[in-house]
């Protein structure tokens, strides 16, 4: 029985292939290591390149193509840059047409071209001569790729005429209980939970590395590989969209991880593995459909919102209070005192006193308030009465809260409080 090799599961299609050719790399290309100015025009292109490296989707490729057009306008007088953009565009079109069937070196060259373009754009030390040399080397690589694609197409034509490929079901590997060890998943679990808490490039890069590592680890377990690919795709999406990522992305990410964990514990046969896998795939597809309609417009909305906020705040005739559009059935915001009361909290020493202990009483009030009180009159007199120093203005917040929060502590932590 045929077993899948690492190459067949390689999601970025750039390593471990039979056609591995290091000549496509001028240097070690790790775009994650290049620290670029995120405000620079090229930064968006970079994120799209990284997305393509991770997963080839129509959306990403379309955005990539649009970004190239924008950069052509920005770099209208920069001939070397324009040649790079032209080359990137051609490769992009090729990948767009072929998608996952694209020659693996196409993506490799795409990364390399971007890497060198960023070097040229961001380095002040490079002379024009040095830039031209880099460009000429890349043109050679581009020509090599064109030749490699032609050769590959010829080989594929020959293979197609020699007989049909085996049915996918016939080459599916058996799933054994020992294939996925739950302990192996712990670092991944930590990273998934970490992203739920805070999204940083560092966390997402670590997640990517961990997914790649596990894909190698579970190379003979196809359901696990598919789940890992899903986790990788979701992480790439979150990385690309950052805070604009759809909230459901995190739920789907968790679901994929949980499915992977179940696979480790419950699945003893391939059929059981499929039963765990299919709901995850279904949910992933639903998520893709959900974000499909919103993905293109998000950046525009963001800039629009910003421009609205930063616009001069001239007073107009009719100022509409905040949240005026919210339906009237929503009465008020979070009322800590009421919430505490509904929890049945009545004791008098509570969280506020613990807070006071922690912060050492009114340490912020004494000096600053004294300084302020001498200068703030008449409004200051009301504001700076020592007794009121830590009391909010108005009557919405009173000392009553202090009488109720204690039981919150008790209910939360138990009666030992």
- Exactly one of 313, 317, 318, 399 binds other proteins (CB under 8 A); that residue is 313
User: Scanning residues 275 to 304, which ones bind other proteins (CB under 8 A)?
Assistant: 302-303
DSSP 99: G
Q: Which part of the chain contacts other proteins (CB under 8 A), choosing from 37-45, 137-145, 162-170, 217-225? A: 37-45
User: Scanning residues 156 to 195, which ones bind other proteins (CB under 8 A)?
Assistant: none
> CB of 277 within 8 A of CB of 223?
yes
Task: Check residue 305 for interaction with other proteins (CB under 8 A).
Answer: yes
Q: Which part of the chain contacts other proteins (CB under 8 A), choosing from 3-11, 124-132, 147-155, 378-386? A: 378-386
Task: Check residue 385 for interaction with other proteins (CB under 8 A).
Answer: no
Q: How many residues of this chain bind other proteins (CB under 8 A)? A: 82
The dihedral over CA atoms of 220, 223, 226, 230, expressed in degrees to the nearest 10, equals -140
Report phi then psi at 141, rounded to 5: -60, -40
> CB of 399 within 8 A of CB of 391?
yes
- Exactly one of 310, 317, 318, 399 binds other proteins (CB under 8 A); that residue is 310
- Exactly one of 125, 300, 309, 387 binds other proteins (CB under 8 A); that residue is 309
Round to whole Å and give the CA distance between 122 and 37.
9
Nearest by Cα to 59 from 230, 233, 296: 296
Task: Tell me whether residue 191 or residue 225 sits nearer to other proteins (CB atom).
Answer: 191
Number of alpha helices (DSSP H) and beta strands (DSSP E) in the chain: 18, 0
Task: Check residue 395 for interaction with other proteins (CB under 8 A).
Answer: no
What's the CA angle centered on 94, arms 93 and 99, to 5 degrees?
100
- Exactly one of 18, 39, 167, 271 binds other proteins (CB under 8 A); that residue is 39
User: Scanning residues 230 to 249, which ones bind other proteins (CB under 8 A)?
Assistant: 242-244, 247
Task: Tell me whether residue 187 or residue 380 sits nearer to other proteins (CB atom).
Answer: 380
- Exactly one of 163, 166, 318, 321 binds other proteins (CB under 8 A); that residue is 321
Round to whole Å and give the CA distance between 5 and 408.
56
């Amino acid at each position: 029985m045929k077993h899948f090799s690492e190459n067949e599961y390689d999601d970025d299609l750039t390593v471990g292939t039979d056609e591995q050719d290091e000549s496509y790399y001028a240097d070690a290309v790790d775009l994650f290591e290049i620290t670029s100015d995120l405000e620079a025009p090229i930064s968006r292109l970079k994120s799209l390149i990284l997305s393509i490296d991770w997963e080839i989707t129509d959306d990403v490729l379309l955005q990539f193509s649009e970004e190239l057009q924008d950069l052509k306008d920005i770099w209208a007088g920069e001939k070397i840059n324009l040649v790079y953009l032209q080359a990137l565009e051609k490769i992009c079109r090729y990948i767009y047409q072929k998608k996952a069937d694209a020659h693996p070196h196409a993506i490799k060259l795409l990364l390399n071209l971007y890497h060198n373009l960023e070097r040229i754009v961001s380095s002040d030390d490079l002379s024009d001569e040095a830039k031209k040399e880099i460009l000429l080397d890349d043109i050679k690589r581009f020509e090599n790729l064109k030749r490699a694609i032609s050769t590959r197409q010829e080989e594929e034509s020959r293979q197609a005429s020699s007989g049909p490929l085996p049915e996918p079901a016939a080459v599916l590997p058996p799933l054994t209980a020992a294939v996925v060890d739950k302990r192996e998943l712990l670092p991944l679990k930590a990273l998934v939970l970490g992203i739920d808490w805070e999204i940083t490039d560092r966390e997402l890069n670590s997640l990517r590395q961990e997914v790649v590592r596990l894909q190698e680890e579970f190379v003979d377990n196809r359901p696990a590989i598919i789940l890992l690919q899903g986790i990788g795709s979701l992480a790439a999406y979150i990385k690309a969209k950052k805070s604009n990522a759809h909230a459901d992305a995190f739920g789907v990410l968790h679901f994929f991880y949980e499915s992977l964990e179940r696979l480790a514990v419950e699945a003893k046969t391939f059929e059981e593995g499929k039963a765990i896998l299919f709901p995850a795939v279904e949910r992933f597809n639903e998520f893709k459909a959900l974000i499909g309609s919103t993905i293109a417009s998000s950046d525009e909305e963001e800039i629009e919102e910003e421009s609205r906020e930063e616009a001069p705040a001239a007073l107009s005739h009719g100022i509409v209070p905040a949240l005026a559009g919210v339906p009237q059935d929503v009465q008020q915001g979070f009322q800590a005192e009421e919430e505490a009361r509904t929890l049945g909290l009545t004791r008098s020493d509570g969280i506020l006193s613990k807070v006071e202990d922690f912060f050492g009483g009114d340490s912020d009030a004494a000096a600053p308030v004294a300084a302020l009180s001498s200068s703030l009159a008449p409004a200051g007199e009301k504001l700076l009465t020592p007794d009121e120093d830590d009391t909010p203005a108005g009557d919405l917040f009173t000392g009553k809260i202090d009488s109720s929060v204690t039981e919150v502590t008790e209910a939360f932590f138990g009666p030992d409080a």
